[in-house]
Amino acid sequence: MSRNGCLLCAPLVAESVDEMLSQMRVAKKNGADVVELRVDYIQGFAPEMDLPRLIRGRVLPVIVTYRPKWEGGNFEGDEVFRVKALRKAISLGADFVDVELQVAAEFLECSTPERKDSSSRVVVSNHNYKMTPSLGEIGSLIARIQSIGADVVKIVTTAEKVTDVARVFHAVVHSQVSGNQVPTIALVMGPKGLISRLLAPKFGGFLTFGALGVGQESAPGQPTLLQLTQMYRVDRMDRDTKVFGIVGNPVGHSKGPIIHNAAFQEIGYNAVYVPYLVDDMREFLEVYSGSDFSGFSVTIPFKEDALRCCDEVDPIAQAIGAVNTIIRRDGKLIGYNTDCEAAISAIEDALRGRSTSLRL
């Protein structure tokens, strides 16, 4: 397990049992703590034969998920059959079984015999594929899932704006501060929700997902397992980790996370650098105003907006009319422009090189 207590989970979306067992070994090699067996992806899945092979052949703890179409999965069929398969997973000793909130109360009641003699923990999940509700609604949802007896709470929403993620972070932290001892998974789907997956350990998430590779995601916006472990080092993150990042639209092409996270690791600095896909610069800075969010690089189209949002601006940046770097200092946002210095330095270096070659 990661030192921060947040599990790194690889969802396995193979179409056969053999392939899924093979993927499980790859996931272990690549640093996963647990795998999610998405058995709704297996072609011709036969619970009585396939579940014993998957669970008894595990090399990591497993979450068994048999997701129906009505909750974003692949299973189309009889609910009695599906529920029976999940109960079978409990009786076989699966470490976790994921069941949807819509059917969880009845499932927990009918599964009492299996749970009595099993160490399996039930994850009660709810997915919103349209939006992220208000903070109050998220809090009520978490409380509802806790109240029906979930061993683990899981809420997944969809980001319309990057600022939606802040409500999910707040709800998870509040549930912990209020004395709740039920572990909570809280993630936000889509490109604008990526930071929910990258920063889950910092804000007390029980688990975050990393796909085995590009094209093997089980939900929109999942990073890969290797990105989480090698670039963002989520296994080393804790609540004191400082957060930096690049603000832009588009932002996915930026090499900033590769460069800065490698630099943080090299100097032993407890920080992470993440991409923010932003629509409104002022709203973004107002929402992510906590001291943990220590600084931002700014790229197109927000460099002029950034200047207007800062409390103080370096004279060079003021003269240029654009800010590409913001540092939070003593509660204030201080804006700089490093593009100018970088451009001049490059010209000077080139001229020095030319001068040297002429002398030779």
Catalytic residue IDs = 127, 154, 303, 339
Report residue 233 as tokens.
Answer: 């080092």
Three-class DSSP labels, the chain: CCCCCCEEEEEECCCCHHHHHHHHHHHHHCCCCEEEEEHHHCCCCCHHHHHHHHHHCCCCCEEEECCEHHHCCCECCCHHHHHHHHHHHHHCCCCEEEEEHHHHHHHHHHCHHHHHCCCCEEEEEEECCCCCCCHHHHHHHHHHHHHCCCCEEEEEEECCCCCHHHHHHHHHHHHHHCCCCCCEEEEEECHHHHHHHHCCCCCCCCEEECECCCCCCCCCCCCEHHHHHHHCCHHHCCCCCEEEEEEECCCCCCCHHHHHHHHHHHHCCCEEEEEEECCCHHHHHHHCCCCCEEEEEECCCCHHHHHHHCCEECHHHHHHCCCCEEEEECCEEEEECHHHHHHHHHHHHHHHHHHHHHHC
Rounded to an integer, what distance in angstroms lies between the CA atom of residue 55 and that of residue 31?
Answer: 19
Q: Residue 304: CB partners within 8 Å, gap ≥ 6?
A: 321, 322
